[in-house]
Amino acid sequence: MKSLFSLLFITSTLMSTAQLKYPATKKTDFSEDYHGTRVEDPYRWLEDDNSEETKSWVRDENKVTFDYLSKIPYRDEIKKRLEMLWDYPKYSSPFQKAGYYYFFKQEGLQNQAVMYRQKGIDGEPEEFLNPNTLSKEGIAALAGFNFSKNGKYIAYSIAVAGSDWQEVYVMETSTKKLLSDKIQYVKFSNYSWDKEDGFYYSGYDKPDEKSKLSGQNQFHKVFYHKLGTEQSADSLVYEDKQHPLRYHFGGLSEDGRFLVLNVTEGTSGAEIWYLDKQSKSSKLQLLIPGFATEPDFVDNHGDFLLIKTNDNAPNYKVVLIDPKNPDKSKWKTIIPEKEEALQSVSTAGGYLFAQYLKDASTKVYQYTYDGKLVREITLPGIGSATGFGGEKEDKEFFYTFSSFSTPPSIYRYNIGDGQSSLFRKTKTNMNTDDFVTDQIFYKSKDGTRVPMFLTYKRGIDLSSGKNPVLLYGYGGFNVPITPAFSISNAFFIEQGGIFVVANLRGGSEYGEKWHKAGMLEKKQNVFDDFIAAAEFLIKKRFTNPDKLAIKGGSNGGLLVGAAMTQRPELFKVALPQVGVMDMLRFHKFTVGWGWTVEYGSSDSANHFPFLYKYSPYHNLRKGVHYPATLVTTADHDDRVVPAHSFKFAARLQEYHNGSNPVLIRIDTNAGHGAGKPTSKLIEEAADTWSFLMKNLDMPFNNDPSAVKSNDGKKPAQKKAF
């Protein structure tokens, strides 16, 4: 016999679905010719984020969405549970500077983490930089920082409401006094100090205020700011008037001798220029021409430069280059290419630390600058480790390790003897000891072997065919998805769900070959990998289509949009977040031009056909029964402008034929995701999980410890299929 709560839940579900009515959205007869193909774009007007018509549409859509969410009986209970779970101290790894240990701490429900410092490892912590004091809503976030050579000053940037635009300030560290220096119109920048005198940074000319959040960004430049002067007096270090759509990043080697300039045409491919400040010349010289490879400056070794590169090494290697004779035939290999994919190389204590992925799990090796292997660093297990960096004088550093089922722990590493010791263990408000993570492998459509991680609560029946599953993926931009703990995902797991991550092509899990197999005309491989993961989970009876949800953000939002338009019957719930949904026009906004090296461009007659074939906005079909869909975006997202989600949601509501709700949630004073305050994270998580659980027919359990199988034993699991 069903409980009264269950009956109320079912009644409310039926009523809210039956009564759901979407706002009337204006359509125009606008169309555009692409290389002889006429493409309709009836919702083009939604691209104008400043128009009153668009703002009115946003208000109407949000009203329908939040009315729907407010009627979910356990939505408030889920939010309370999330607030309780979120409310624990979160620490970053400490780092040393000028006699202090600096670290970040978030008390629990603070909107932004606070930077602290202390004298010595056992010193008393003092608050150093608190972004929470800059905005009562918590929407001002620390976006980047760097200390001067001797630690006398810190340059730091602040981003407001999630925008990529930043303002830079300078503080004297001894007094915590804010100096008069202020730099505006900064976007995608590092801050590289020249001793204590000033620093290099990257930015744009002053943008038009009206189109600041959507207009195309052009002519990224490198400047030098001398401390104590106005921004107008900053020296222009580098600009390229012939190529407005390039990024430029400048920085000094640790010893200050070499100024190194990294130039990219987008998110893939680069060239490197340099200036030896000991030479008489003041002109930058080309070291590695672009843009066929992915070179990355590591450090100088005396007169020579250490470069991480994939030139004739798809899994990357480290080479030593004489800048006076940079011909490739003269390069010396310092760290040869391995079977595993090299992700990054950092420095500390006069050593190199090479970080690799082995089936998406971290492995780290310590080398001398001459390439002699010192040791492999012993990590606590299979998972993700970050850190492994410091200054040449350091004798130790700290790194963080976590996995899907293990909250972050901080370890102290002795550079001399290679010993790691536990420094700080995270104490959450839930028992994750019952969480289990399995890595298994499945075959994609073309036979490619793809790994996935499944994390679940010990004791559930994995072969029942009825488990609620959330499948997550990204698959792009050479970005790996590695095991990492999320308190939000942990909530879903404690409620009896299985959280699954598929390591799709397009990432860097297996080097540049893996990346290239999921980009440009091969992008469909990524969607095939994701769809094959869903089919595998169903075939092996982990779940069924009525219990399967998919989720992804940004490029992962594109992934979800493509998967649900190509195979709508395979999923019950779709959660595309801040997704790239219009593949014909993404490059027209802000920094979308930088993604053409990954996706291609509709301006190209060769690229247009494959973009048009999978573009989510253009592949919605009339009369199709789509999954229950909650599109999420934000009004200050100037990375993937909200017009993508607006247009996709409008057409989805027009074409959808079925009882599943298809809604859009538009956050205010928020951006692409970085720097989002805790309060907004919890609100969004509560809405997302409520929507997912309701539409997977997954009741909220106030006693998560009761979610287990009949025998309470962990089922036997194979590691590969």
Q: Which residue has the higher pLDDT, 651 or 635?
A: 651
What is the spatial distance between Cα 654 and Cα 22, in angstroms, rounded to a whole number?
Answer: 9
H/E stretch holding 489 reads helix 487-494
Evaluate the CA torsion angle 519, 524, 526, 529 in order and state its sign: negative
pLDDT at 708: 52
In contact, 505 and 475? CB cutoff 8 Å: yes
Type of residue numbered 126: E
What is the spatial distance between Cα 64 and Cα 12, in angstroms, rounded to a whole number?
Answer: 16
Query: Is the confidence at residue 13, as pLDDT, over 90?
Result: no
Residues 6+ apart with CB under 8 A from 99: 119, 151
Query: Is the confidence at residue 705, as pLDDT, over 80?
Result: no
Residue identified by tokens 């012993």 is: 378
Mean of the pLDDT values across residues 283-300?
96
CA distances in angstroms from 440 to 9, 465, 551, listed in the order given: 36, 17, 20
User: What is the greatest pairwise CA distance in the chain?
Assistant: 87
In contact, 255 and 265? CB cutoff 8 Å: no
pLDDT at 10: 38
What is the spatial distance between Cα 504 and Cα 628, in angstroms, rounded to a whole number?
Answer: 24
Alpha helices in 301-363 (DSSP H): none
Mean pLDDT across the chain, nearest whole number?
Answer: 93
Query: Is the confidence at residue 366, as pLDDT, over 80?
Result: yes
What is the spatial distance between Cα 358 and Cα 365, in angstroms, rounded to a whole number?
Answer: 13
Query: Is the confidence at residue 1, as pLDDT, over 70?
Result: no
> Is 554 an active-site residue?
yes
Using alpha carbons, select from 589, 594, 554, 557 the residue that is nearest to residue 574: 557
User: Each residue of 18-27: pLDDT tens digit?
Assistant: 458 999 999 9
3-class DSSP assignment, residue 669:
coil
Share of the chain above pLDDT 90, in %: 88
Query: Is the confidence at residue 545, as pLDDT, over 80?
Result: yes
pLDDT at 706: 63
Using alpha carbons, select from 583, 599, 448 the residue that is nearest to residue 528: 448
Q: Which of 220, 618, 636, 672 is catalytic?
A: 672
What is the spatial distance between Cα 230 and Cα 234, in angstroms, rounded to a whole number?
Answer: 7
What is the spatial distance between Cα 468 and Cα 698, in angstroms, rounded to a whole number?
Answer: 7
In contact, 662 and 652? CB cutoff 8 Å: yes
Beta pairing partners, 498? 469
In contact, 392 and 413? CB cutoff 8 Å: no
Pairing of strands 95-97, 90-91: unpaired
User: Each residue of 157-213: pLDDT tens digit?
Assistant: 999 988 899 999 999 999 999 999 999 999 999 999 999 999 999 999 999 888 888
Most confident of 205-219, 289-303, 667-681: 289-303
pLDDT at 714: 39
Q: Which residue has the higher pLDDT, 35 or 137?
A: 35
> What is the DSSP annotation of 558-623?
HHHHHHHHH-GGG-SEEEEES----TTTGGGSTTGGGGHHHH--TTSTTTHHHHHHH-GGGG--TT
pLDDT at 19: 54
Beta pairing partners, 549? 470, 573
User: Each residue of 25-75: pLDDT tens digit?
Assistant: 999 999 999 999 999 999 999 999 889 999 999 999 999 999 999 999 999
What is the spatial distance between Cα 436 and Cα 438, in angstroms, rounded to a whole number?
Answer: 7
> Is 672 an active-site residue?
yes
User: Each residue of 423-442: pLDDT tens digit?
Assistant: 999 999 999 999 999 999 99
In contact, 93 and 426? CB cutoff 8 Å: no
User: Each residue of 448-488: pLDDT tens digit?
Assistant: 999 999 999 999 999 999 999 999 999 999 999 999 999 99
Query: Is the confidence at residue 242, as pLDDT, over 80?
Result: yes
pLDDT at 707: 59
User: Each residue of 550-572: pLDDT tens digit?
Assistant: 999 999 999 999 999 999 999 99
Residue identified by tokens 């602290």 is: 116
Q: Which of 554, 615, 645, 690 is catalytic?
A: 554
3-class DSSP assignment, residue 101:
strand
DSSP designation for 546:
G
3-class DSSP assignment, residue 523:
coil
DSSP designation for 653:
H
> What is the DSSP annotation of 21-84?
-PPP------EEEETTEEEE-TTGGGG-TTSHHHHHHHHHHHHHHHHHHHTSTTHHHHHHHHHH
